[in-house]
Structure 1
Amino acid sequence: MAARVTAQMVAERAGVSQSAVSRVFTPGASASSRTVEKVRKAAEELGYRPNVLARAMVSGRSRMIGLVVAYLDNHFFPDVLERLSNALQEQGYHVLVFMASPTGNVDNVLEEIMGYQVDGIIMASVAMSSDIALRCQARGVPVVLFNRSQDIDGLTWVTSDNVNGARQAGEFLVAGGHERLGYIAGWDGASTQRDREAGFRNALADAGRRIFAREVGDFHSERTQDAALRMFDVPADKRPDGVFVANDHMATIVMDVLRFDLGLRVPEDVSVVGYDDAPPAAWPAYNLTTVRQRVNLMVEETVGALLEAIETPKDAKPRHVAMDAPLIVRGSARVPEGWTT
């Protein structure tokens, strides 16, 4: 087995000090362009790779971020994962991805993350208990919630404005002349689900209307199929003529059930509106009218808040951000006469 290449060996090859090698491979440290060139050339020739964990033990910073995601079936989350990872890597941080149940306890996952000495944690569509939040704060590990909001002191969260976004969906469907509006809910433990349903109900109430039929898909593929069948596999006068679905993942499943299982036309027989504007929403197969989560801005806000808490903790203040969420009109729902976007 070949001997491990050390920083001292690189320093000798490059004709610089070992501390100069360390500065070249430490994000944010200063070194002259000439030194950087010599060190990187020597490192490449020797096949040297810096020991990130050893450097973390010396500096007290791992430059690693724990990213907890609930599930990847929804195309919204792989997109979010890629954007968060790229944004953090641009700032010199490495990302460790951990999976957690969207409806389960995340205590064990967070304990595992802590074992990696991460500098911070982003929880994407995963809730946390007040106890866990306090434990993270006590250890000096900042946490930011992405696509969730929680009323916990000192906790930063970034979401879209789910209430107003869903209100727009409701107003759009009401203006389209629908008589029987249904709602397919996600998991009720999620703040996104509760806020979206509240916004939709508010829009209907303002028009003197109520939800005609409600089913629960739980943000789960099979349960959403079952929910759609319960809602629509009934006589024509008993089924909704328009439906708002709590996210795009479920909305595309509902569209498939309507068209391929039940032989109904979208939007002629049933209008469908979703939430997220995940990539499949724009595919011609779905052409889904939906509420857009402004992912780029949400990621920018999330990363900015987390790095501020890591790098200047005394100055960092908790942020509560609800990003504007516009309605994107496509072809899956009847467009009201004279409607302008």
Structure 2
Amino acid sequence: MSTAKVTSQQVAERAGVSQSAVSRVFTPGASASKKTVEKVRKAAAELGYRPNVLARAMVSGKSRIIGLVVAYLENQFYPEALEKLSNELQQRGYHVLIFLAEQTAGNIDDVVEEILDYQVDGIIAASVAMSSDLSDRCRAAGVPMVLFNRSQDDPNMSAVTSDNYAGGRKIAEFLLAAGHRKIGHIAGWEGASTQRDREAGFISALAEAGVALHSRAQGDFTMEKAAEATRKMFTSDPPEAVFVANDHMAVAVMDTLRFELGFKVPEDVSVVGFDDVPAAGWPAYNLTTVRQPANRMVADTVEILLDQIENKSDEPRRIAIDGPLILRGSARIPEGWTA
């Protein structure tokens, strides 16, 4: 059996078309008539031909590959968001390579260096922090980057987030309207802009009402540390309500409160999260939370990145999309508010 690879010229001869027509059929975004596409794909299938994507990338200078970096997948928000990002990019003719990195800046720098070796056309960094000079290195390599669900102080970096500051304010206003005054906060990882902005908005709204934060503990966006933070916070002088920086932690907080510490939710304590992951709507949790508008965040992220890739736009854009407060049964609902 011959092991020689089938060439595009052989496909062209079998289909009765030019070699350039074969190239157009297998090039995303290129135009070819329906009849030509059918003939070429039929000939390719009969001969067992597969286009050499890497060779085409070397010739064109475009791989049509996007590097997608994510720090962790335990939080349900990220697998769902990554699926939406991958689907949207594939519909636009791009392929996705997913890289896992730790949240620390040094690690993401190493990962991005590796991504650049794959000759990607662009990078989306989700839930990761990076050093201040990383965007300069990507820009020098001609590879645009957009941050998803994170922001940086770097004015040259494009970023798409939900409006975390406004979301934090909404939660504080909701808890205050329900009559709570002893209010706690279980924070996420301190290095994340999402954590800082959510807490800043939350504290701001409490302060405007003349209410100081009753207690604070850190959960680092992990279930284990969130459970430990709950034990610490509710051992003595427990709060009447607690804002947990994301739903992933809030699930652990509710389980610890109900099944380990003997608190009733929301009778003894109101719990509010942030993200609106699928588990938030499960009857076991029925979690009141701020919904991150993932569809709009994904659409804007892809639009910004492809504009930079295809139109050579170098204007950084910062977008913060407002998300609604979703009222469920984990928190006392203020009079006049409806779930």
Task: Give the TM-score range, shorter chain.
Answer: over 0.9
Which of 156, 159, 169 is the aligned partner of 1:167?
Answer: 169
In structure 1, distance between residues paired with 2:54 and 2:174:
53
The runs of 5 or more residues in structure 1 that have no matched partner are: none
CA distance in 2 between partners of 1:153 and 1:168 (Å): 27
| Secondary structure of the structure 2 residue equivalent to 1:183 | strand
Q: What is residue 292 of structure 1 aligned with on the other side?
A: 291
Instruction: Detail structure 1 runs of 4+ shifted over 6 Å in the superposition.
Output: none
Find the aligned partners of 2:189 and 2:86 in 1 and give their Cα distance: 26
CA RMSD of aligned residues (A): 1.2
Taking the aligned partners of 2:333 and 2:160, their CA distance within structure 1 comes to 31
**Match in the other structure for 1:29:** 30
322, 325, 336: which is aligned to 2:323?
A: 325
Structure 1 residues 110-145: Cα deviation after superposition (integer angstroms, max 9, x where no partner):
010000000000001112222111000111100000
Identify the residue that residue 217 of structure 2 maps to in structure 1: 215
In structure 1, how many angstroms separate the alpha carbons of the residues matched to 2:164 and 2:205? Answer: 13
Report the AA paired with residue 251 of structure 1: A
Q: Which amino acid letter does the alignment assign opposite residue 147 of structure 2?
A: L
Give the SS at the match of 2:133: helix
Q: Cα deviations across residues 153-211 of structure 1 (Å, max 9, x unaligned)? A: 32110001100111000110111111310000001111000000001101111110011
The one-letter code of the counterpart of 2:298 is V
* CA distance, structure 1, for counterparts of residue 104 and residue 122 of structure 2: 22
Partner of 1:137: 139
Structure 1 distance, partners of 2:73, 2:112, is 19
Please report how far the alpha carbon of residue 14 of structure 1 lies from its aligned counterpart in structure 2 after TM superposition. Answer: 0.7
In 2, distance between residues paired with 1:13 and 1:174?
74
The one-letter code sitting in structure 2 at the alignment partner of 1:333 is A
Give the whole-Å Cα distance in 1 for the aligned partners of 2:185 and 2:143: 39
Structure 2: which 5+ runs fail to align?
Answer: none
The answer for the alignment partner of 2:230 in structure 1 is: 228
Give the equivalent residue in structure 1 for 2:85. 84
CA contact (8 A) 2:105 2:131 kept: no
Give the drift of 1:15: 1.2
Per the alignment, residue 335 of structure 1 pairs with 333
TM-score by length of 2: 0.97
Q: Could you tell me which residue of structure 2 aligns to residue 271 of structure 1?
A: 270
Counterpart residue number, 2:54: 53
Q: What CA deviation, in whole Å up to 9, does each residue of 1:256-299 have, x standing for no partner? A: 10111112111001100000011111111111000010000000
**Amino-acid identity (%):** 67
Q: Indicate the residue corresponding to 1:62 in structure 2.
A: 63
The corresponding residue for 2:97 is: 96
Distance 2:79 2:214 in 1: 34
Q: 2 CA distance for matches of 1:198 and 1:226? A: 23
User: For residue 114 of structure 2, what is the amino acid of its counterpart?
Assistant: E
How far residue 5 of structure 1 moved from its aligned partner, in angstroms, is: 2.2
TM-score by length of 1: 0.96
Amino acid at match of 1:304: E
Q: What number of residue pairs does the alignment pair up?
A: 337
C-alpha deviations, 1:314-335, integer Å up to 9, x for none?
A: x452111000121110110000
Q: Equivalences for 1:244-283 in 2 at 5 Å?
A: 244-283=243-282
What amino acid maps onto 1:210 in structure 2? A
